[in-house]
Amino acid sequence: MSETELKHAKARAAQLRREIEEHNRRYYEDAAPTISDREYDALYRELVELEQKFPELALRDSPTQRVGGKPLEHFAQITHRTPMLSLENTYSEEEVVEWFQRLQKLLPGQEITVVVEPKVDGVAVSLLFENGALKYAATRGDGRVGDDVTQNVLTIRDVPRQLRGHAPRVLEVRGEVFMTKQGFKKLNEDRAAEGLPLFANPRNSAAGSLKQLDPETVRKRPLGLVLHGIGALEGLEIETYGEGLKLLDKVGLQRSEKTWTCKNVDEILAAIRELDKLRHDFAYETDGAVVKVDSFTQREKAGFTSKAPRWAIAYKYEPERVETKLLDILLQVGRTGTLTPVAALEPVFVSGSTVARATLHNEEEIARKDIRIGDIIVIEKAGEVIPAVVEVKRERRTGSERVFKMPERCPTCGGSVMRDPEQVAVRCINAACPAQLRRRLEHFASRGAMDIEGLGEAMVDQLVSRELAHDVSGIYKLDAEKLATIPRTGEKSITNLLAAIEQSKSRPLWRLLFGLGILHVGATASRTLAEHFHTLDNLMNASADELQRINEIGEVMAASIHRFFNDEQNDALIERLRESGLNFGEKDKYEPKTADEKFAGTTWVITGTLSQPREEIAELILARGGKVAASVSKKTSYVLAGDEAGGKLEKAKTLGVRILSESEFREMLNH
């Protein structure tokens, strides 16, 4: 071995450790992975092979020597009675055969029985029962210490506070908290209706749910629990995992609904293949099969590596990919007029459901992949919201395929479109576009803006299709007579909706600004503008230069605001809202904040999903003399990071800005 080879190996190992640690953090702590399991496993295996080839590189703190991620700081910590270890992964049936052959060498002359069961794509947890009563529930954490999530786990219907019958004195069980497929779909529909970001997949949403500080929030999430292992056990002797499964049934705990008992490799492979056919019928997502030795005595003899048991392996199924024909590329129009291309597919069955749409992102992505209408394409659905196009079968082209081009006219209204110089986007510039109108009305009425309960997607669709609202001011022209023309709209719902509309007239100015949907202006910037100008009239009269001088309002945003308020149609809209009696800031009070030395003069950025709306948290900060900004900079004092925190969190780490969890923030409020 040359010195140069060792030097290169050392550098590569260091790079792999950094990447793996970062992906561990994103997976275990943020519940927001950015690479697939297969890509992660490839990085991990490369590091293992380097450390085996160069033992001096196998550092004590290497991710190959540890499990999972560190516990979150805002939960109490629990030490597991027995360690929670990860399993070695494989995507190859040949490696399953090799694993079983290694077992035969470790257990010479013995008959080895194994159990095959679904690998649930959820969040690993450990539950401890003492004399039948649940003492605690904890996440995996780093394998030795996890987060105490007892109150959240108790909201899951599958979890009893007290076991049935005569339970062992101590029973430690392991399993996966999951979100049901149907529940996940409904959750995203509700989040979309409220204008909240969608969860990427059920696993991420389950992880995010367990991290909520308010159990009532968790109670509303469609979570379940499947148990698949036994840790500490006192007061009862069992010899096999099969007996353990019977124990779980006896005491009323949910376990894998389908298992296979196998005596040889052929039976193992047959079970893995059969599970692959059945797994889409389960209520939860599965991404593989777990194969484990049945006998606890044989498990003990087979032993462990530093991270994983030798007596078990996880076979991961490839993300399902299927071929279909791209029939057309359709365009969806958002509230700001952005035209988003969507693939219209020849319907095809993939990952348990029939799909007819796939994401294409934008025109640039279509050109990069050379996707053409009429192409035979490969789509992949690996637990994501909608499938993605991953490959084009160019060799199958017949010459009849058509290159996609963004239209010069909006597909909904026929109005002119323009390219946004700041983004890879094409926008319809017709303010009267029906598609934009629907999205604008939904946004205006959303909880984060004017908070008009009862004015959701279905009602908005009826208002637009029946021409009862031509812009957001039309909401305030509605009356009982007009609403009664909408089918299946009862007297009580009409009364409630009109009351909610009336209440919205007194919302603070910043909510109105946010509801107007000015390009580039979010909730935080709307609040900043309201605090600076106090009234809508003052803001409308501001020059672009004056706007740009405001902290947090950059050149692009300033130009967008100035352009919005100098548009004749928007001016007319503002006057109609004025006539309807909306608060333009005159009713808001901008009194000096109560001094709080911990908050006075501080600047905060709020990111991720928290236990209450960001707007309400911002109010708490502002009331104590702090400021809330839209983006992270060197001037930022704190970043309050919740679940699904992304780029802002990363920038805060890069700049060395202090990051607070929600529990730390609450403690700061209370003390």
151 shares a domain with 249: yes
What are the b/e assignments for 450-480, b being 16+ CB within 10 Å?
bbbebbeeebbebbbeeebbbbbbbbbebee
From the list 666, 598, 609, 608, the residue with the least C-alpha distance to 637 is 598
Closest CA relative to residue 339, chosen from 444, 441, 446, 414: 414
Domain identity same for 452 and 516: no
Q: What's the CATH code of the domain at 497? A: 1.10.150.20
**72 is written with which tokens?**
């979150």
Q: Are residues 202 and 230 in the same domain?
A: yes
CA gap 446, 440 in Å, rounded: 10
Q: Residue 625, by phi and psi: left (phi above 0), alpha (psi -120 to 50) or beta?
A: left
- The single-letter code of the amino acid at 280 is H
Mean pLDDT of 269-275: 96
Instruction: For residue range 290-314, list pLDDT tens digits in order.
Output: 999 999 999 999 998 767 899 999 9
How far apart CA 375 and CA 372 sit, in angstroms, is 6
Question: Tell me, what DSSP letter sits at residue 369?
Answer: H
Query: Both 254 and 114 in a single domain?
Result: yes
Q: Residue 259 corresponds to which tokens in the numbers above?
A: 């298992």
- Three-class SS state of 370: coil
Instruction: Show which of 504, 519, 547 is a domain's final residue.
Output: 504
Closest CA to 177 of 199, 136, 207, 157: 207
φ and ψ at residue 238, rounded to 5 degrees:
-130, 150
The answer to whether position 415 is within a domain reads no
Q: With pLDDT > 90 as the criterion, what percentage of the chain qualifies?
A: 39
Beta bridge partners of 77: 147
Residue 310 domain-assigned (yes or no)? yes
Sorted by sequence, the CB contacts under 8 Å of residue 53 that are 6+ apart come out as 9
- Which CATH number characterizes residue 311's domain? 3.30.470.30
Both 312 and 326 in one domain: the answer is no
CA distances from 74 to 427, 619, 663 (A): 43, 22, 5
Residue 409 lies in a domain: no
Boundary-marking domain end, from 36, 65, 94: 65
**What angle (nearest 5°) sits at the alpha carbon of residue 106, between those of residues 105 and 108?**
60
Query: Does 317 have pLDDT greater than 90?
Result: no
- At 644, the pLDDT band (50, 70, 90 cuts) reads low
Closest by CA to 64, choosing from 28, 88, 84, 100, is 88
Residue with tokens 């802002």: 648
User: Could you say which of 403, 424, 457 is where a domain stops?
Assistant: 403
CATH code of the domain covering residue 25? 1.10.287.610
Q: Strands, E, within 370-503: which ranges?
A: 372-373, 376-380, 388-392, 402-403, 417-420, 425-428
pLDDT for 67: 55
Distance of CA 190 to the CA centre of its chain: 14
Assigned domain for 13 exists: yes
**What's the full length of the chain, in residues?**
671
Partner residues linked to 416 by β-bridges: 409
**How would you label 217-236 residue by residue, b for 16+ Cβ within 10 Å and e otherwise?**
bbbebbbbbbbbbbbebeee
Q: Is the pLDDT confidence value at 380 over 50?
A: yes
pLDDT tens readout for residues 524-564 = 788 889 988 999 999 999 998 899 888 778 888 899 899 99
Rounded CA gap, 482 and 266, in Å? 69
Backbone φ and ψ for 458, nearest 5 degrees, come out as: -65, -45
38 and 149 within one domain: no
Tokens of 581: 């009696």
Strand (E) positions, 121-271?
123-130, 133-139, 145-147, 170-179, 223-234, 260-262
Are 475 and 523 members of one domain? no
pLDDT of residue 630: 73
Answer whether residue 287 is part of any domain: yes
Instruction: Reply yes or no on whether the pLDDT at 509 is more than 80.
Output: yes
- Residues forming the active site: 119
Give pLDDT, residue 204. Answer: 76
Does residue 459 share a domain with residue 546? Answer: no
Do residue 135 and residue 227 come from a single domain? Answer: yes
Query: Angle formed by the axes of helices 265-278 and 93-106, to 10°?
Result: 140
Residues 6+ apart with CB under 8 A from 150: 134, 136, 137, 138
DSSP string, 18-81: HHHHHHHIIIIISS--SS-HHHHHHHHHHHHHHHHHSGGG--TT-GGGS-S-PPPTTS-EEE-S
| Radius of gyration, alpha carbons of the chain | 29
Question: Alpha-carbon distance 43 to 257, whole Å?
Answer: 33
The whole domain housing 33 covers: 3-65
Quote the DSSP letter at residue 252: T
In 3D, which of 512, 471, 477 has the Cα closest to residue 498?
477
Helix (H) or strand (E) segment spanning residue 536: helix 536-540
Taking the C-alpha atoms of residue 102 and residue 97, their distance in angstroms, rounded to an integer, is 9
Q: What is the DSSP letter of 199?
A: P
Question: Rounded to a whole number, what is the distance in angstroms from the first to the last CA of the chain?
Answer: 60
d(CA 539, CA 562) in angstroms, rounded, equals: 9
The count of C-alpha atoms lying within 13 angstroms of the C-alpha of 81, restricted to the half-sphere facing its C-beta, is 18
Q: Quick: pLDDT tens for 383-410.
A: 444 688 888 999 999 999 999 988 888 8
Token couple for 367: 């050109």
Condensed to tens digits (0 to 9), the pLDDT of residues 84-136 reads: 888 888 989 999 999 999 999 999 999 999 999 999 988 999 999 999 999 99
How many angstroms separate the CA atoms of 575 and 597, rounded?
Answer: 42
The reported pLDDT for the residue numbered 424 is 63
User: Can you read off the two tokens belonging to residue 478?
Assistant: 């509605």
Tell whether 48 is covered by a domain: yes
- Residues 523 and 493 reside in one and the same domain: no
Do 174 and 60 have their domain in common? Answer: no
Whether residue 418 is contained in a domain is answered as: no
- Report d(CA 124, CA 68) in Å as an integer: 10
In a domain, 589, yes or no: no
**pTM tops 0.85:** no
How far is residue 565's CA from residue 554's CA, in Å, rounded to a whole number?
A: 17
Report the alpha-carbon distance of residue 459 to residue 302 in Å, rounded: 63
Range 420-433 average pLDDT: 72
Whether residues 178 and 296 fall in one domain: yes
Q: Across the chain, what does the average pLDDT equal? A: 85
* Overall domain count for the chain: 6
